Structures are given as C-alpha cells and as structure tokens.
Amino acid sequence: MKKLGFILCMATGIAAAAFAKPAMDIQATGQDAPGAPFDDVSYSFGVVFGVQFADSGLSFNYSDLAKGFKDAVEGNLSLSENDALNIANTAYRAALDKKNEESKVKEAAFLAENAQKDEVITTESGLQYRVIQEGTGATPLATDMVQVHYKGSLLDGRVFDSSYENGEPVEFSLSEVIDGWAEGLQLIGVGGIYELFIPSDLAYGAEGAGSIIPPYSTLIFEVELLSIITPEEITPGAEESDETASAASDDE
C-alpha cells in the first residue's frame, strides 16, 4: 500500500472516528482501561498517531495538536471536519513533495560520487556494483531460480532486511524481483559476492515500499550467490518459498 495513501487514510479514519463520537468513555470517565493505567493509555494513543507521521517531514505545534485532538474527542471544533482534513492533507502533501525532492537530490549526488570510485562499475541501466569476491560458477539467466544470502540497507546505513540475520538463505526466481536484483544477479557467478547499488528507478521508485523503504531510495545490497536451482532440484514447497521471497523483496 502506498505510504501516502495509507497515512491519508489513517488521518481520515482517525478524524472521522473522532468526529463521529464526540465523547470517548475513557476520556469522559477518567478511568483506567482494563490492564493499563490511564496515563499509559493516553500516552500510547499519542505514540500510535505519532508513529504514522514520524517520517513525514511535517513539524507540529504540539500544544495546538493536543488541543485539536481534545476538541475532536469532545466535539468542540473550531474548524469543520472537511476544513481540517483539507488543511491536514494539503500540508502533508507539501511536506511529502519537499521530502521527495530532497531524496532525489541526495540519491543523484550519492550515485554520481559512487560512480567515480575505481572499484565501482556502472551498467547502461544505471545499476552500480562492486565485486567483493568473484564467483567461479555459472551466472544465472533471467528466467532462473537462485539461492542467495543477502543484506539490504539504505544510504543512511540502516539495514532493512538480511537473510544472514534471519538465519537461512532465500530462493527466488529472477523474473519475480525488482529490476536491479534481476540485472545484478545475472552478473554474479555462483560463489561470488557483489555489492549492488540499486537506483530507485530500478527498485521501488516514487512509491517506496511500505514504511520500510521511502520513495526515491537507492538500495545497497551485499549479495552472495550460493547456487542456481535447476527444475530437478526444486522440492515441494519451493514455489511457495519463491513467492514468499518475492513478496518480501517487494516489501523492502
């Protein structure tokens, strides 16, 4: 699901729920929710809402934010629901556009600088890679299924997925992964380890991938090609594993 759509839906849903119910029992009575102190419940709602906007690029006047929340719960609004939603959505879109432009500039600067390194090779598509260890085996075709170990990170160094940390390699078909993976894996011989620098237009582009990978993100993968799996080697359940790996890759 698109992050923008998700957040705007969350905002709309939260606001609609608040406007539809002028008073919440827990606020009206001041009593603790079952199993949790009243203050903890209040704080937790703040955390739930705050997490949705933590990476949005928006800044808030927190006293007004708290007042708006309180007014909505109590049904004492100084703006109509539609006006509030329009203002919030407009502000969010502007913040997102600004953040996306900054991400594009950052990505372009990184790729340009990275391309100047002696050990980095840039392909015609814009994919960049560095050989950590050359493989001695065959290279896969675009239609092959492979078994790999990998670690994926963002430009800030944050690791968003790792088969090493998960404790086992993954298997997938090159026809079912992002373009940067499909191209990069075809460069690696079995036994090889490459570092792939995948531009956003060969990955998740303007959409990003959920809350894990922001829009216009260059992805850095250390990939170890363990084997090319022939049809005879595919065991029952491998197709399901392939689909799972593909879905996991698409959610990165």
Residues forming the active site: 150, 160-161, 178, 204, 221
Which helix (H) or strand (E) segment is 49 a member of?
Answer: helix 38-53
Helix ranges restricted to H, 125-211: 163-166, 179-185
DSSP assignment of 75-97: T--SS-HHHHHHHHHHHHHHHHH
Distance CA 210, CA 208 (A): 6
Q: Which residues of 172-210 are buried (b: 16+ CB within 10 A; e: fewer)?
A: bbbebbbebbbbbbebbbbebbbbbbbbbebbbeebbbe
Whole-Å CA distances, 56 to 138, 144, 191, 206, 250: 44, 39, 41, 14, 21
